[in-house]
Amino acid sequence: MSFTRVIWIVLDSVGIGAMPDAAEYGDSGSDTLGHIACRTNLRLPNFCRLGLANIRPLHGLPPVEHPRACYGRCALASPGKDTTTGHWEMAGIHLAKPFPLFPNGFPRPLMEQFENRIGRSTLGNIPASGTEIIKNLGEEHIRTGSPIVYTSADSVFQVAAHEEVIPLWELYKICETARDLLRGPYEVGRVIARPFEGEPGAFRRTANRKDYAVAAPQGMLLDQLAGNKVPVASVGKIFDIFLGRSIGEHIKTKSNQEGMEQTLEMMRTEAGGLIFVNLVDFDMLYGHRNDPAGYARALEDVDAWLPQFDAALKPGDLAIFTADHGCDPTTPSTDHTREYVPLLAYGPETAKAIDLGTRSTLSDIGQTVAANFGCRIAAGVSFLEPLSTATF
């Protein structure tokens, strides 16, 4: 083993430019980081010191002569551009076909089954922005008690309900029912509980969201690590994405700020193995809401936190920063975008930066982690050896 501990942080949706097949997904020209840098006065001095702007030119963000991190970018090999696809690919799972989409809503027979099972009628059943649909249907939901069902350009079945109309325990049970029904051609990547609160005209989503993912196939990275008795801890929605499988200590978080705080806490308590982190605000609060200024502030907040993170790294640690897809907030669409994602890998003992180039799959990261702990996953090419030669 080259590294005692790996801290792997997914900056959810922080893409770094359209992939060659982006037009097939309606995402031609998408560039999450590039467009945010052009539209805002984005300043990321600590990420730039790591080598973020050495991956490719970014407006106002200078490359450095001697980056602290090995740097590159990863393509998404699987079809799709959603959270489950990206995270599964990191763990060595390549999809043969994308999770199903429902641009016209879910079929009526399926919805009738769902309504019969939950004992309530539903509202919506259309593709929509979560904040917009609760603004438009929230008052009717309060009057009728009918949960709001909606989807998006991603493979999701989302259920929104006011916490004082449908209590959380019941909303979660409703989502469990949906997860049980959505099989075969209807097996979406995630069912998501979307609770909200407030009065008409001032509804706001709460932090009690809960995701119900499809179970990943056996043999993925976390299974392999568990088989080698390598501890896996998680922060954020990683636990939900993988249904908690092969994960020991875990902390679910409600914001990037909490995620950063809990990552430092996890680094204090977990002596070895993998600490797997997802910081979701970029995607959830800013990408999907077409808010480049808010997205820029969130990036700068993580950048300002990096010195604390670096101070918590110990000899023998490897830090990896990447993303799972893009979500360009400057495009007319509010959906994820088909983009390359950045790759930064370093530790306190990194002596020289190496250009890791363009990796053909996110599985290269998972294969590197697997190789470090003496195992293998089904896909990906490890870059552990160049990382090892970059250390003292």
Under the banding of pLDDT at 50, 70 and 90, the label for residue 154 is: confident
Closest by Cα among 318, 323, 275 to 302:
323
- The CA distances from residue 85 to 98, 114, 316, in Å, are 8, 25, 30
Nearest C-alpha neighbor of 52 from the set 345, 319, 309, 342: 342
How far apart are the C-alpha atoms of 242 and 239, rounded to whole Å?
Answer: 6
Bridge pairing between strands 70-74 and 355-359: parallel
**By CB neighbour count within 10 A (0-12 exposed, 13-18 middle, 19+ buried), where does 258 fall?**
middle
β partners of residue 191: 157, 212
Strands 123-127 and 355-359: unpaired
**What is the pLDDT confidence band of residue 4, given thresholds at 50, 70 and 90?**
very high
Which of 139-149 are b and which e, b meaning 16 or more Cβ less than 10 Å from the residue's Cβ? eebbeeebbbb
Contact between 51 and 67 (Cβ < 8 Å): yes
Going by C-beta distance under 8 Å and a sequence separation of 6 or more, which residues neighbour residue 169?
Answer: none
Average confidence (pLDDT) over 47-55: 98
Tell me, letter by letter, the H, E, C secondary structure of 166-229. Answer: CCHHHHHHHHHHHHHHCCHHHCCCEEEEEEEECCCCCCEECCCCEEEECCCCCCCHHHHHHHCC
Please state the pTM of the whole predicted model: 0.91
Digit-coded pLDDT (tens) for 13-34:
999 999 999 999 999 999 999 9
Cα 8 to Cα 233, 257, 343: the distances in Å are 10, 17, 11
CATH architecture of 108-213: 2-Layer Sandwich (3.30)
Identify how many contiguous H helices and E strands the chain contains and give both numbers: 14, 14
C-alpha pair distances (Å), 199 with each of 122, 147, 353? 20, 16, 53
Give strand pairing partners of 357. 72
Give the CATH architecture of domain 5-97+216-389: 3-Layer(aba) Sandwich (3.40)
3-state SS, residue 47: helix
In degrees, rounded to 5, the angle at the alpha carbon of residue 245 between the alpha carbons of residues 239 and 248 is 70
- Side chain identity, residue 142: I
Q: What is the mean pLDDT of residues 162-171?
A: 97
Which pLDDT belongs to residue 392?
59
Q: Which two tokens stand for residue 184?
A: 């075969």
Instruction: Please give the pLDDT value at position 1.
Output: 57
Overall average pLDDT of the 209-214 stretch? 91
Query: For residue 252, what are the contacts with CB-CB under 8 A and spacing of at least 6?
Result: 236, 237, 239, 240
Averaged pLDDT of the chain: 95
Kindly list the domain boundaries of the chain, sorted by start residue. Answer: 5-97+216-389, 108-213
Sole residue written with tokens 């890791």: 356
At 346 the pLDDT is 96
Instruction: Give tens-digit pLDDT for 231-270.
Output: 999 999 999 999 999 999 999 998 999 999 999 999 999 9
Let me know: does 248 contact 232? Beta carbons within 8 Å. yes
Q: What is the DSSP letter of 165?
A: T
The Cα–Cα gap between 179 and 183 comes to 8
Q: What values do phi and psi take at 30, rounded to 5?
A: -65, 145
| Residues in a beta bridge with 159 | 149, 193
Does 127 score more than 80 pLDDT?
yes
Question: Mean pLDDT across the stretch 192-213?
Answer: 94
Mean pLDDT calculated for residue range 339-345? 98
In the predicted structure, residue 390 carries a pLDDT above the cut 80? no
Q: Which residues contact 134 (CB under 8 A, 6 or more apart)?
A: 141, 148, 160, 194, 196, 203, 205
The mean pLDDT value for 269-279 works out to 97
Q: What is the largest CA-CA distance in the chain?
A: 66
Q: What is the pLDDT of residue 175?
A: 98
> Please, which pLDDT band fits residue 170 given cuts at 50, 70 and 90?
very high
